[in-house]
Structure 1
Amino acid sequence: MSFQTIWEARRWASLFLKEHNREENVVDILLMHHLNLSRAMLLASLQDPMPDEYVDIFVEQIKSHGETGVPIQHLLGYEHFYGRTFQVNEHVLIPRPETEELVELVLQQISKGFDYNATPLTAVDIGAGSGAICVTLKKENPHLDVKAVDISEEALAIARKNANGLGAEVEFLQGNFLKPLIEKNIKVDILVSNPPYISIHDREELSDTVRDYDPSLALFAGDDGLDAYRAIIKDLPKVLKQKALIAFEIGYQQGEAVKQLLLTTYPQSNPQIVEDINGKDRIVYCWL
């Protein structure tokens, strides 16, 4: 296959993805990657010749994504998050824009609610995955002592690579939810988590790009999608300091349920449900 111009390559790829019911914005992501262009530069270069050396890999990746649903991030090996580039593969959840909103809220709450002249603050990310949350917290607030937990050694390997590559000092612990913290008697001021929160009964409703390629460990949490929250919240008293911030990413229909779980363990708390940029419930947080 050959293309005279970038426009021709872009048009062919867009039509191919449309025929396979895939999002067409993938085309520009791939073109920008291979041609090393910004979006504005790409749009300004559409009538330029399509370099022959990139045609085969471009066509192969478009066909692979269109026909199988393999995430474009897996084909490229990275995703952008909070202005940084994170390596990703089949062992970690691909960082999503909604999680950037969780990180932003946590950073804002930390700056409002803690005295930086007091003892250093310890933050933990439960279910670290690629390390997007824990690395970003450390890079945006270097004063934090950041730890991260994941049950998957394969995920931790990617998280460590991202932390090292981005120059973020994070302590990684392997284990299930809060167990490693309890075993080491680690107390924290800030607990953040984007845990699995999809019901196993909703598996077939997911797109194949998510269902077949994101790790099941990072997606599914029992019959109602709340098992991870139950496990974490039950053990919170064993790891939180007297004053603490808790923040969870949630499924868009889980706000009240997660709020009630927190109130069961901490009746005096005042959990808040926060909507994402699309107006869907996405975060539950509270101060103790």
Structure 2
Amino acid sequence: MTFFQLIGDPHYKHKFVLQKIIGHLTGWTREELIVHYDDEVSVELGDQINGKYRLYSEDHEPLEYILGYVEYGGLRFSVNKNTIIPRPETEYMIEAVREYLQGKMKNEEGKIILVDVGTGSGVLGLSLLHSHGSQIEQAFLIDISEDALAVAKKNYNYCIVHNQIDKSVDVMIEKGNLFSSPALDSGLLRTSQGQEVIILANLPYIPDETFDTNPDLSIKYEPRVAFVGGDDGLELYRIMFAQIRESGYQTTMFLEMMTWQVDILRQEFDWLVFEEIKTFHFQIKIVKVMFKN
């Protein structure tokens, strides 16, 4: 059987997935695969392709875990079952922070300190280090999971090797509990007078019951702890707000949550300003949160 015949086989209904698996196993781009259409598929390779395809089609394992990476915002990030797969809607947060930083650049404001709380695979923090590293003096990527941090460190090293982020930026990737870690608690976060700390936090915000009754079979492969946030999904945000207030740092937060959760936090935390950022997802909001003057 040739590659052309394999791709045309009606048994393989998910053609995009099939081609991604072939590319992953052969190292070919889509264009290179076309060049090899008339080549014979070896028995060994055919078995490997079929095995990985069945993981997707029958076991409902996410393609990103099968491949071991995700392409996100023009960069490639390793992922595994210790990290959630970044969703398209999270790109709205990255874009919101980029716009915010561009505004600071136009106003000739100084460099910021970036703290990615619950970094997981490091997608948020590393994406901003890639696009706006010149505006970042320090970056802290914090997570409670050592397994997730291993993935974040792998992605950071990949970005360094491939010259995708500025090596001169002081980056620390370490275990911590939300806005608390050995580096943050010991004063390694160095702020000059008026210097702003920008916090990114895509924390678990799905209510426990909502997650447990989700019919999406693929979600069972992702770490539950990275999704659920208590009865109303806001348990970790409440803890983080208290930590930030106690720290005394001047912060601007960019958060992701469900639309109905914004008003709950707005009513509970009257010392914060919640600004909803427009997205094209009616159930999920990106929210900029600041201290009231």
TM-score (normalised: structure 1): 0.82
Partner of 1:238: 246
Partner of 1:161: 154
Partner of 2:213: 204
* TM-superposed deviation, 1:92: 0.8
Distance (whole Å) between structure 1 residues aligned to residue 32 and residue 281 of structure 2: 29
Alignment of 1:1-150 (within 5 A): 3-15=1-13, 25-39=16-30, 48-49=38-39, 51-52=41-42, 54-113=45-104, 118-143=109-134, 144=136, 145-150=138-143
Deviations 1:108-141 (A, max 9, x none): 1122146775543101000010011111111111
Equivalent position SS for 1:179: coil
Partner of 2:280: 277
* TM-superposed deviation, 1:75: 1.5
Partner of 1:219: 227
Partner of 1:254: 261
Distance (whole Å) between structure 2 residues aligned to residue 277 and residue 29 of structure 1: 28
Taking a change above 3 Å as real, the CA distance of residues 223 and 10 of structure 1, as seen in their structure-2 partners, is farther
1:189 to 178, 184, 197: 197
The question of whether the paired residues in 1 share the 8 Å contact of 2:96 and 2:277 is answered with no
* TM-superposed deviation, 1:177: 0.4
Equivalent position SS for 1:285: strand
Partner of 2:179: 178
Distance (whole Å) between structure 2 residues aligned to residue 252 and residue 7 of structure 1: 47
* TM-superposed deviation, 1:147: 0.8
Equivalent position SS for 2:49: helix
Aligned identity (percent) is 25
* TM-superposed deviation, 1:4: 3.7
Taking a change above 3 Å as real, the CA distance of residues 10 and 147 of structure 1, as seen in their structure-2 partners, is farther
The question of whether the paired residues in 2 share the 8 Å contact of 1:274 and 1:281 is answered with no
The question of whether the paired residues in 1 share the 8 Å contact of 2:204 and 2:229 is answered with yes
Q: Which amino acid aligns with 2:229?
A: A
Taking a change above 3 Å as real, the CA distance of residues 75 and 230 of structure 1, as seen in their structure-2 partners, is same
Distance (whole Å) between structure 2 residues aligned to residue 110 and residue 240 of structure 1: 22
The question of whether the paired residues in 2 share the 8 Å contact of 1:127 and 1:151 is answered with yes
The question of whether the paired residues in 1 share the 8 Å contact of 2:256 and 2:284 is answered with no
The alignment's C-alpha RMSD in Å is 2.7
- 1:264 paired with 2:267, answer no
Deviations 1:157-215 (A, max 9, x none): 110111011014521121110121652243661011111111111223142211x2111
Q: Which amino acid aligns with 1:228?
A: L
* TM-superposed deviation, 1:87: 0.8
Distance (whole Å) between structure 1 residues aligned to residue 278 and residue 4 of structure 2: 39
Q: Which amino acid aligns with 1:254?
A: Q
Equivalent position SS for 2:116: strand
Return 5+ residue gaps in structure 1 as ranges.
18-23
